[in-house]
Structure 1
Amino acid sequence: MPRPRCSRCKRPASHCLCALIPDLPSHTEVLVLQHPDEVDHALNTAHLAVLGLRNATLWVGEVFAALPGWLAQPGYRTCLLFPGEQARSVAAFGSDGDGRPVRLVVPDGTWRKARKLLYLNPALADLPRVTLADAPPSRYRLRKAPMEGSLSTLEAIVAALNLLEAPADYAALLKPFDALIEGQIAAMGEDTFRRNHLP
């Protein structure tokens, strides 16, 4: 029989994270495009990010029919948080402001699945790309990063907002994330964690 789950944070009721999830405003609007394979992942960090941000939305799928209309709405400066040859730093994009609020589109999935989302949604190709230069090291101790500087979706959103919204600080979004990681480590046992996840 499945364990009861919290309907909000999706964690087992005995490990609910809702008390740690903040309620943070932002001028920047965040749209997370989540690959369906991530929805039931035990460490669904994008879901935690959206729960903690008032001005954030999560769309799940592979092809987003509503995306071109959303992108066409006037009054915003929209960018895609994803590396690429022409990508600029988030800070540089933010400092070029002309008074319009920024909308940050964030693909959520493995690198392969995120690239698939970009391929299946050509409207994303027209967006200026931004990346996180000098981002803090990942706190995601349970996953081996495929490349240096890789962050979880939640960590990437926090780092981007800290640059775009300075001096505001979005570190409170990391509290449920840290608790989630600690809970997973406790469940597997310290010895197993050290054997499989420490360098």
Structure 2
Amino acid sequence: MPRPHCPRCSRPLDHCLCALIPLLPSATRVLILQHPSELKHALNTARLAALGLSNAELRVGEEFEDLSALLAQPGYRACLLFPGEDTQPLQQFAAQAVDQPVLLVVPDGTWRKARKLLHLNPLLAALPRVALPEGLQSRYRVRKAPMSGALSTVEAVVSALNILEAPAQFDALLKPFEALIEGQIKAMGEDTFQRNHLPR
């Protein structure tokens, strides 16, 4: 018999994270486009980010037929948070839009799946592309980063909002994420974690 799951955070009821999820306001609107392969992932940090922000939306799919309407938010200036050629630092983009809130579009998936989202949705590829500062370290201790500076989706959203809305801080969004990681470490056992996930 399958374990009952929380309908809100999708975690097993005995590991529900809802009590730790804040509800933070932001001038920035966050649109997370999640590849379907991430939906059932045990560490679905995009959901945590969307639940913890009052001005955020999570959409799941590969092709988004209503993307034009999603991007045409009145009063917002849209950008895509994704590394690659022709990116500009997020701080620089924010400085150009001081009187206009940002619509931050965040693809969620493996690098390959995220690139596929861009390929299938040309409107995304046409957006100004922004990047976080170099040197950020992920707290995602149970998953090896594919490259230096790679962050989970919730970490990337928090880092971006801390830049866009400074001096406001959004680190409270990381509380359920930290609890999720601690739960994973506990489930695998400290010895396994030490052996497989700590740097040598």
So what's the TM-score if we normalise by structure 2?
0.97
Query: Compared with structure 1, are the counterparts of its residues 73 and 54 closer, same or farther at alpha carbon in structure 2 (3 Å cutoff)?
Result: closer
Query: Compared with structure 1, are the counterparts of its residues 195 and 129 closer, same or farther at alpha carbon in structure 2 (3 Å cutoff)?
Result: same
- Please give the alpha-carbon distance, in whole angstroms, between the structure 2 residues aligned to 1:153 and 1:87: 18
Cα RMSD after superposing both structures: 1.0
- 2:78 partner SS: strand
- Please give the alpha-carbon distance, in whole angstroms, between the structure 1 residues aligned to 2:37 and 2:43: 12
- Please give the alpha-carbon distance, in whole angstroms, between the structure 2 residues aligned to 1:23 and 1:178: 17
- Please give the alpha-carbon distance, in whole angstroms, between the structure 2 residues aligned to 1:75 and 1:182: 40
Residue 85 of structure 1 and its aligned partner are, at CA, apart by 1.5
Alignment correspondent of 1:3: 3
**1:20 equivalenced with 2:20 (yes/no):** yes
Equivalent residues in 2 for 1:145-184, closer than 5 Å? 145-184=145-184
- 1:21-46 per-position Cα deviation (integer Å, ceiling 9, x unaligned): 00100000000000000000000000
**1:189 equivalenced with 2:194 (yes/no):** no
- The answer to whether the Cα contact below 8 Å between 1:50 and 1:56 also exists between their aligned partners in 2 is yes
User: Match for 1:63: what amino acid?
Assistant: E
Residue 98 of structure 1 and its aligned partner are, at CA, apart by 4.7
- Please give the alpha-carbon distance, in whole angstroms, between the structure 2 residues aligned to 1:159 and 1:55: 16
- 1:115 partner SS: helix
Alignment correspondent of 1:39: 39
- Please give the alpha-carbon distance, in whole angstroms, between the structure 2 residues aligned to 1:19 and 1:128: 36
- 1:184 partner SS: helix
- The runs of at least 4 consecutive aligned structure 1 residues that moved more than 4 Å come to none
Percent same amino acid at aligned positions?
A: 69
- Please give the alpha-carbon distance, in whole angstroms, between the structure 1 residues aligned to 2:86 and 2:66: 26
**1:109 equivalenced with 2:109 (yes/no):** yes
Alignment correspondent of 1:54: 54
Structure 1 unaligned regions, length at least 5: none
- The answer to whether the Cα contact below 8 Å between 1:31 and 1:103 also exists between their aligned partners in 2 is yes
Query: Compared with structure 1, are the counterparts of its residues 119 and 171 closer, same or farther at alpha carbon in structure 2 (3 Å cutoff)?
Result: same
**1:75 equivalenced with 2:45 (yes/no):** no
Structure 2 unaligned regions, length at least 5: none
- 2:139 partner SS: coil
Q: How many residues align?
A: 199
- Please give the alpha-carbon distance, in whole angstroms, between the structure 1 residues aligned to 2:16 and 2:118: 33
- 1:60-118 per-position Cα deviation (integer Å, ceiling 9, x unaligned): 00000000222234421100000122101111111111512110000000000000000
- 1:139-179 per-position Cα deviation (integer Å, ceiling 9, x unaligned): 00011111100000000000000000000000000000000
- Please give the alpha-carbon distance, in whole angstroms, between the structure 2 residues aligned to 1:134 and 1:30: 21
